[in-house]
Structure 1
Amino acid sequence: MTDPAATQIVFLLFPGITQLDFTAPAQALCRMPGALLAGAAKSLDPIATDSGFSILPTHDFASSPQADILCIPGGHGVAEALHDAATIDFIARQAAGATWVTSVCTGAFLLGRAGLLTGKRATTHWGYTHLLPLVGATYEHARIVEDGTIVTSGGVTSGLDFALTLIASIRGDAAAQAIQLAIEYDPAPPFVGGHPDHAPAAVTEGLKARVYDGAAARMAAALTAP
């Protein structure tokens, strides 16, 4: 019999996932009292991440448990996943039965393709925020955006902040604070510049030119393709 106090957390896994979008919130959420984690993909084959190594799903879509918390990570593989009917159908079906529907980074666009961000406030990685209206969402300038039971977060490392925020909502501040202490999440970055609001303009523009202008164009093309 399933423990009534348990919270089933399901992460979508897909080729080209940004591993920290998945592993950072998973590391915090797995420590929440009653948490049960699953990583669901189209098949049980290894999933290639953006970091040069692969991860193994625990379930395929057919065998995945129903999520109480559904989490959709991002990554450069999102543009391809947007056109995968089985993936979008899985998100929509899981979201219909979930208490919380969440995303990290560009995972927001998969929520949007499944019709879950229409009329919602949302955020994503700073390089893609201007594309949120393409999935019916209104961009809110924040690291974490809660609109009812839908929670979206910014790029990559924001997944850890999102997880702790969600744990506090579900199990209380003390539980979230204990987990933050347990994983020694006490950030002291060597530079103030993890967002364009704070980074030197030359660094931001250089990174956009090298990576994010092209990546955002590919995402826009994927979102507007028939």
Structure 2
Amino acid sequence: MKNTIDRRALMGLAALAAAAPAFAQDASDAHRRVMTSSDPTLPDPNAPKVAMLIYPKMVAIDLIGPLSVFTVARWNIQLIWKDKAPLATDVGVSIAANTTFAESYADPDILFVPGGLMGTIACMQDPAVIDFVASRGARAKWVASDCTGSLILGAAGLLEGYDATSHWAVADLLPLLGARHVDKRVVRDRNRFTAGGATAGIDLGLVLVAALDGEETSRRDQLILEYAPEPPFHNGTPAEAGPERVAAMRKRRVWMDQQARLATEAARRKLNPG
């Protein structure tokens, strides 16, 4: 037996060697798909793509509420900011983006913006943020916000002619940005979803999951999160709190709310320069 390899055999071995990395990659991808589909803790690659803006001084629960719902639903989530440095939130817990503006989904299924009044005001005055929100919002299938995040959507021109809501203290500013204020915890108008203050983000998340994945999926998520609120007081809205408590709260917020009004008026002038 000759201890040689003819040219045809040598060429065949070379082709196999050249194809091996591709075969290995295909096998790796297939394994990853199998693991992802069978592991309920990992995102489903076929699930909606969610672009969630984060920013300095945001209210953490505005993000964490819907983020928890979307994570339980196994959606694909990007936390997006200009860079990936940790950002301070209202409770002193920092959150870092995992995706930059440049790296983010070009056409997300959902664009979501949280609130946090002073951070919101800064975003409304930041052309890079407004340009990003406007561009992604124009291409997203669904556009959503919690709390004062709706002011950012409005400043980006995404609520013109839509019903919307926001935190009760600044919801009256929405008409300045072309929206119609509706006093509800979650407001849906076509493909726009907006929610009231802070904790309403959980409700928003469940409403979005029901709209995209069906009511049973949303019910499952609600059960997993054991979301069955029983507040110790009926004081979570101006109507429940009563005029005296609302007046006292507004007195403490005068400077902040004035800054929000100034930012909103500036945004309106940019949207309607004539």
User: In the alignment, which residue of structure 1 is the partner of 2:154?
Assistant: 112
Q: Secondary structure at the match of 1:5?
A: coil
Distance 1:224 1:203 in 2: 28
- 1:76-225 pair list within 5 angstroms: 76=117, 77-211=119-253, 213-225=254-266
- Consecutive unaligned residues of structure 1, counting only runs of 5 or more, are none
Shift of the alpha carbon at 1:97?
1.8
RMSD (Å) for aligned C-alpha atoms: 1.5
Distance 2:240 2:181 in 1: 19
User: In the alignment, which residue of structure 1 is the partner of 2:54?
Assistant: 13
Query: What per-residue deviation string (whole Å, max 9, x for no partner) do you get for residues 178-222 of structure 1?
Result: 1111011110000011001111332222111112x3322110111
- Asked if 1:55 is matched to 2:95, the reply is yes
Say if 2:53 and 2:114, in contact at 8 Å, map to a contact too: yes
Q: Secondary structure at the match of 1:30?
A: helix
Q: Secondary structure at the match of 1:62?
A: coil
Shift of the alpha carbon at 1:5?
2.3
TM-score by length of 2: 0.78
- Consecutive unaligned residues of structure 2, counting only runs of 5 or more, are 1-28, 34-43, 270-274
Q: Which amino acid aligns with 2:59?
A: T
Distance 1:11 1:125 in 2: 19
% identical aligned pairs: 37
More helix per residue: 2
Q: Which amino acid aligns with 1:100?
A: W
User: In the alignment, which of 104, 111, 114 is matched to residue 64 of structure 1?
Assistant: 104
Distance 2:93 2:135 in 1: 29
Shift of the alpha carbon at 1:59?
0.7
User: In the alignment, which of 78, 81, 92 is matched to residue 41 of structure 1?
Assistant: 81
Distance 2:112 2:45 in 1: 21
Shift of the alpha carbon at 1:4?
6.6
TM-score by length of 1: 0.95
Distance 1:119 1:96 in 2: 15
**Cα distance change, pair 60–4 in 1 and its aligned pair in 2 (3 A):** closer
Distance 1:201 1:130 in 2: 16
Q: Which amino acid aligns with 1:198?
A: E
Distance 1:167 1:30 in 2: 11
Count, aligned residues: 224
Q: Secondary structure at the match of 1:151?
A: strand
**Cα distance change, pair 4–22 in 1 and its aligned pair in 2 (3 A):** closer
